[in-house]
Structure 1
């Protein structure tokens, strides 16, 4: 009989070359499509509306906030790239923690991921409704009533557009992964084109005076801005949730992660510079659909803002789509391990997708999106992402020590310096988040760990396999002594 400590820290074997855990999911995702998953779930999550939240905190120095968040995310993404090429399964950092730290720590990471994807999907859906209103007003001269477009704390009753967006994403995902990936790729290309259009028009309104009071809140404001902006890098993790549906994952996943990071960071910095050059930082606070409004002020006409609003309405759809996708794939992997109810692991034989799990996830995210304000959702997503990044960086170090001969599709350069810097950077940003954010996160994590002790520990597939193996060894030993 395994001791409590052995149960809590039992480690799942790392799949060797040519091995793959049993899965009914179909491998349909190639390098370009996987890169678009990373880009699609990231660009739009922040840049279309996070400036109205981060610029009032950091001023024009929010550019440095983007750089700091990008550097910390970059360090973590490099660690993700090594683990994705070493442990090429779905589940992202949950699976990596299970293979390195043990079952209980893996459940703690799962709490981070469930918070990260659930809240990110809700936050993006909330921002989407702002651009829907902007587009409707520009094209038809009317808006969705305030009561139906904002959460109660923002003076509304329910954010109805956010709920409708989530319902559409759910419909696509239950139809099949292949269709969803194609639509996501089209949306991502549209999104990048729209943002480049914003940059080109935005720089025509360049005013160097807008950068005069560059850091009005000092370095603390820059760091606080980084905490909010880090929410914009949640999409990097989405690549690592697709391990069971990716072709040649050991090579494809690391390449997609690094490519997505480079694309995302470049676009973020370009858009931030263009926006700040065209509008005084004091005017960003409370500005709905900010990028559209900036272009309208520069050109003196509605059409550029209409283009950006239309692009945002189309492309933010892809962020929500991938957020729900990532959440369902993590729950799928946990269900396969016995850590979550079986319904999350049920795969529809016709569509080869986890239909029941997708519907449950969508309903929960829709409740968040309909009734919770945007700024709180952004910080809750950031802390989930940051803690997951810490675990991934730690897992790289542990796996290098424990399994030095494991085949790796990519290896972190300057090891162990970069993983250690990633851990320090993430903890530094966490320390600057609001206290209420950290408290809610700790409560949420405690709830998930409590569920593990009540349900997961006894239903663990790995635990049952180990118990059966020990029982067979005991029978053989008994037989040998007779």
Structure 2
């Protein structure tokens, strides 16, 4: 007997819910309208031209909205601190989730140090312009470069320390401080955009700056879009606020969608203002096109443009960048802290990371660790290439989020309570995946050093997971946990799993399993019972729900253990279907035998029942047995309705196994008047040949009827057992019962429903179901 991965019975400290919709919108905008967009504006106009810079931000906004919808859907269903870490754990398991959280922590922390340095550089530049550093120059022997460098680093450390303290004081203070700063930066940025519009109204000739529209060619758009894509990643920090947001299922999706829409409009407006800021032929521009003149200054181009556009342009720009860098610094410290806190909360990092301050209700352990990375990087390390590594990891995170939204919608759509579901699923995440893959390739060429740093951090994370986290992780509610396992034999041969629900259907399953196993070479039987625990009950308190499963397993063992090697497992979970599919994959089962429990109450969607998702997702052959009061161990007359598909062939194989050697096995074709090229007699002969049977093993019968269900039910009355192939259909299809299910519901005779695994399932379904 083994007991594994027991969840922690101790109550987990909770973060306080104080952030409103306004606070988290401001938090997302603060992350997006960072200093990077100002640096990227001049580079983008130089690379792609006047029309290109506007299209860059417009198209990036569209593609960012696709990923934002993925984040919105996932956050509305899983509103917990950790963001992509939580999504990956539920979608792809612990390994992927640890890497997601590990990368998210690194990316946010290093981005925070970059914003701290950006604030310091512009602040010291402004102070130096006022002449306030002149006394220091004299004190240090007239070496301004050294003085400026030291002051920049010192200011960056002090600034980072200040925002670490603000985050320590609590999410309310963090949200309020971030909201005030973001309002300030948004005001300054909008001021620049409004000045651009006013300039065009006063002088329409400035619109000539857009001619030619794309002087460098359309291919340059890919370059500039890749360079500026991370300027739209504020929805990631919003996802981190799940534990602290008021009414998160509604407010998180709204904040993500609204923030991306707002920031896209602002970016396009600022890009427009940048293009029209310089008048053709003005002083200093000469014969150059205005966009060329701005582009020659590269990252400083936007500053030069703003200085030409409005009075006190340099001063306003400096204030805008200062506000932007501090708001982004606040958001990245918050995001990095929550990402590492999630790792500590779930046991993937030491308990220090999960400590919460009793008074402030903030994760101070994770905050200290995040602060160490931010301050160390800001004080000592060159941030350009490290920041590129952060960009690459953010791209990896967005890629994983889009994979997760597909995986979780298909695999757990019937379990989760969504506050938002994206339209046209799964088109948006697939489009986003393609675009992110293209941009990630471009980022490879942007920084070679970044592609050295990123793998080193990922390899270090893998080492920590394998050496520490793997055996210490706390089981989450969505995970399948082994309660009781008896392994009497080492699995060999042909693995067969029998899902037992209660003692009432154990006899029918035992009889069917015996015949199915007897036809295989060296069969090995795994008896499994999944304990479905209600949401309000802790998994650690679920032992009282195991009694029916123990009785069913004991009854099955009494018979089957005399004939085949046999192991047993009792597991508890929130969803039986997912638990069984998980066990099938873990044990590498080739045949799954289940009992029929009748028509489910809610048939609005097929995924609402237990059997349906198992049949759809199990990567093996599945046999569903419905017994009756007159069930027999020996069947002399078996009916097999067929239509020619792969499941019909498998149904014929199962019928041959269930029937006695001298039994009559009748293949039935119902002719409803539809034109089909299915030849029944030829199909029967082919199946007999495939199974190495005598040609007369299968007899054939064709009947004409308007309803195939009525015809099959009429014929089933004259047979002791009916075996049907499962109807193939898309997962979660909006429809009623399938033909095999209707037969099983309406006949009093025993029924077996068979589904062939492996080749029938699509690659898409294997990956995401």
Q: Does the residue aligned with 1:461 lie in a helix, a strand or coil? A: coil
Give, in whole Å, the separation in 1 of the partners of 2:266 and 2:341: 32
Matches within 5 A, 1:45-60: 45-60=35-50
Question: Which residue of structure 2 aligns with residue 197 of structure 1?
Answer: 191
CA spacing shift, 1:408–1:281, aligned 2, 3 Å? same
For normalisation by structure 1, the TM-score amounts to: 0.86
- Is 2:265 aligned against 1:266? yes
Deviations 1:389-448 (A, max 9, x none): 111111111111112222210001101111111111111110111342334323321221
Give, in whole Å, the separation in 2 of the partners of 1:131 and 1:228: 22
Question: Which residue of structure 2 aligns with residue 317 of structure 1?
Answer: 326
- Is 2:469 aligned against 1:456? yes
CA contact (8 A) 1:148 1:160 kept: no
RMSD: 3.3
The alpha carbon displacement at 1:163 in A equals 2.1
Give, in whole Å, the separation in 2 of the partners of 1:413 and 1:36: 25
Higher relative contact order (CA 8 A, sep 6+): 1
Match of 1:410 among 403, 417, 420: 420
Q: Which runs of 4+ in 1 moved over 6 A?
A: 463-468, 472-478
Q: Which runs of 5+ in 1 are unaligned?
A: 13-20, 151-155
Question: Which residue of structure 1 aligns with residue 237 of structure 2?
Answer: 238
Question: Which residue of structure 1 aligns with residue 69 of structure 2?
Answer: 78
Question: Which residue of structure 1 aligns with residue 374 of structure 2?
Answer: 365
Match of 1:296 among 307, 316, 339: 307
CA contact (8 A) 1:383 1:430 kept: yes
Give, in whole Å, the separation in 2 of the partners of 1:227 and 1:23: 40
Answer 1 or 2: which has greater strand percent: 2
Give, in whole Å, the separation in 1 of the partners of 2:356 and 2:426: 40
The alpha carbon displacement at 1:203 in A equals 4.4
The alpha carbon displacement at 1:320 in A equals 0.2
Matches within 5 A, 1:83-482: 83-140=74-131, 142=133, 145-147=144-146, 149=148, 159-203=153-197, 207-208=206-207, 210-212=209-211, 214-215=213-214, 217-279=216-278, 280-282=290-292, 283-284=294-295, 291-299=302-310, 303-373=312-382, 375-405=384-414, 406-435=416-445, 436=448, 437-462=450-475, 469-471=482-484
Answer 1 or 2: which has greater helix percent: 1
Moved more, 135-144 or 222-231: 135-144
The alpha carbon displacement at 1:35 in A equals 0.9
Moved more, 404-413 or 93-102: 404-413
Give, in whole Å, the separation in 2 of the partners of 1:380 and 1:442: 9
Moved more, 321-330 or 379-388: 379-388
Deviations 1:237-258 (A, max 9, x none): 0000011111111111111111
The alpha carbon displacement at 1:309 in A equals 1.5
Give, in whole Å, the separation in 2 of the partners of 1:72 and 1:46: 19
Matches within 5 A, 1:21-40: 22-40=12-30
Give, in whole Å, the separation in 1 of the partners of 2:277 and 2:355: 51
CA contact (8 A) 1:76 1:393 kept: yes
The alpha carbon displacement at 1:360 in A equals 2.3
Give, in whole Å, the separation in 2 of the partners of 1:59 and 1:129: 31
The alpha carbon displacement at 1:213 in A equals 5.3
Question: Which residue of structure 1 aligns with residue 720 of structure 2?
Answer: none
Give, in whole Å, the separation in 2 of the partners of 1:27 and 1:148: 44
CA spacing shift, 1:287–1:165, aligned 2, 3 Å? farther
Give, in whole Å, the separation in 1 of the partners of 2:151 and 2:125: 19
CA spacing shift, 1:55–1:342, aligned 2, 3 Å? farther
Q: Does the residue aligned with 1:470 lie in a helix, a strand or coil? A: strand
CA contact (8 A) 1:227 1:382 kept: no
Give, in whole Å, the separation in 2 of the partners of 1:97 and 1:439: 24
Q: How many residues align?
A: 461
Give, in whole Å, the separation in 1 of the partners of 2:90 and 2:112: 27
CA contact (8 A) 1:36 1:184 kept: yes
Moved more, 50-59 or 410-419: 50-59
Q: Which runs of 5+ in 2 are unaligned?
A: 137-143, 201-205, 279-289, 488-542, 558-769
Q: Does the residue aligned with 1:347 lie in a helix, a strand or coil? A: coil
Moved more, 213-222 or 192-201: 213-222
The alpha carbon displacement at 1:473 in A equals 8.3
Give, in whole Å, the separation in 1 of the partners of 2:295 and 2:486: 67
The alpha carbon displacement at 1:215 in A equals 4.1
Deviations 1:124-164 (A, max 9, x none): 222222321343245556589443555xxxxx896333222
